A and B are shown apart, each in its own frame.
Chain A
């Protein structure tokens, strides 16, 4: 019994060349495929360009914005008399709202990966009472989810303020100020001055732990 094999060229040099060409192309394609295997991946380019420290953000955004909210509604008594302070005009409400938005979004800025607590070499202004920046950073890095929850706690505490502003509800804004104050203080007791008596009390009462989100 003979087997007819038309695939194998026999005799004709032209057909032999054709076969070699096909084989070469195949080898090239296989080689090309092999060479497209992933090389060691280069690290992705940073998505954000972080410039400021957490302390900078506190100083430049969080603190002044919270001050505007806290000071926008109050009865102030001085030697000159009594002032009923609250936003009255649309522009005054708009100013307060801008600060509420800054405060809300600053909580996201604070938790961005790679942001340091302070500039290199920066020292505590009240050593012994406050932690040094590197100690704060260590605390944050040891348990980052907790730090994120504190920041989110401030965000959530500021939301009622935004709502009160949108409703032009001065009393509501005054009440919301206390929530913001508590959120700030809870985080400070954990990371800024955790060795004070206030911090000890907060630990006992559970205030120095953020709500489980």
Chain B
């Protein structure tokens, strides 16, 4: 009798342990899949122009001795493309919007990073790291419009993203070459390719989705991907270099 009770209590404790937060998270992870991929440019790399910063001598001074380029097509020798925004399209179960802001810096008279993603409802913050006056001007066709000055180093402006918008271009009216692109999306399943042209989207619910890649000069390309629980799906994209640039 006593032994049976001990075993029962031990079983309950074990069951509780298995249903604890860690176990729950790992069980959930096992029920999800991952998408990995690589994006390359198969055509000739066009190169990027060096930015002429002579209009603002302070920017020219900050960058003296450097060749800062307009990173419109950031490709390596093997064609691997960085700064491509990749996302899943579709309807997904609701997930909490991160409370931490996504940050873009105005550093040495360019926006860093050039391409980034943020959730609808999340805060995007733009920080001026320069002792130079900049402004932050979004060119939204939705409700993500803002246009504010950041005259001093250390200033931070925060904006809550209201609508899905792929892509939202942000510029600086004072320095016409300063540009960054923000993918504002309603689900957490997005990524930006690194310098090796690679991306990874984790914890994706099983299912079949449209996956869309967007490149600043060559625009969107899409494929279909099927994600299985506990497995990794691979999706590679190749731009020819002849794709039409996005309008506007």
Contact = CB atoms under 8 A, between A and B. Distances in A.
Interface string A57-81: 0000000000000000011111110
A75 B77 CA distance: 18
B46 interface: yes
Contacts of A74: 49-50
B24 interface: no
A78 B140 contact: no
A47 to B, nearest CB: 35
Contacts of A77: 47-50, 67, 69
Interface in A91-132: 125-126, 128-130
A197 B139 contact: yes
Contact of A130 (B49, B67, B248): B248
B247 interface: yes
Nearest to B173: A201
Interface in A186-210: 193, 196-198, 201
A201 B244 CA distance: 26
B140 A197 contact: yes
A76 B47 contact: yes
Given A77-B47, A80-B45, A126 B138 contact: no
B247 A125 contact: yes
A193 B247 CA distance: 9
A82 interface: yes
A128 B142 CA distance: 11
Contacts of A126: 247-248
Interface residues of A, number: 20
B76 interface: yes
Given A77-B67, A79-B77, A193 B248 contact: yes
A80 B44 CA distance: 11
B242 to A, nearest CB: 14
A74 B47 CA distance: 11
Contacts of B247: 125-126, 129-130, 193
B49 A75 contact: yes
Contacts of B140: 197
Nearest to A126: B247
B137 to A, nearest CB: 8
Interface string B30-61: 00000000000000011111101000000000
Nearest to A82: B67
A83 interface: yes
B141 interface: yes
The 4 closest A-B pairs by CB, nearest first: A78-B47, A75-B50, A76-B47, A126-B247
Interface of B: 45-50, 52, 67, 69, 75-77, 137-141, 145, 147, 247-248
Given A125-B247, A128-B141, 12 more contacts: A74-B50, A77-B47, A77-B48, A77-B50, A77-B67, A78-B48, A79-B76, A79-B77, A80-B45, A126-B248, A196-B139, A198-B139
28 contacts: A74-B50, A75-B49, A75-B50, A75-B67, A76-B46, A76-B48, A76-B49, A77-B47, A77-B48, A77-B50, A77-B67, A78-B45, A78-B47, A79-B45, A79-B77, A82-B67, A125-B247, A130-B248, A174-B52, A193-B248, A196-B248, A197-B138, A197-B139, A197-B140, A197-B145, A198-B139, A198-B248, A201-B137
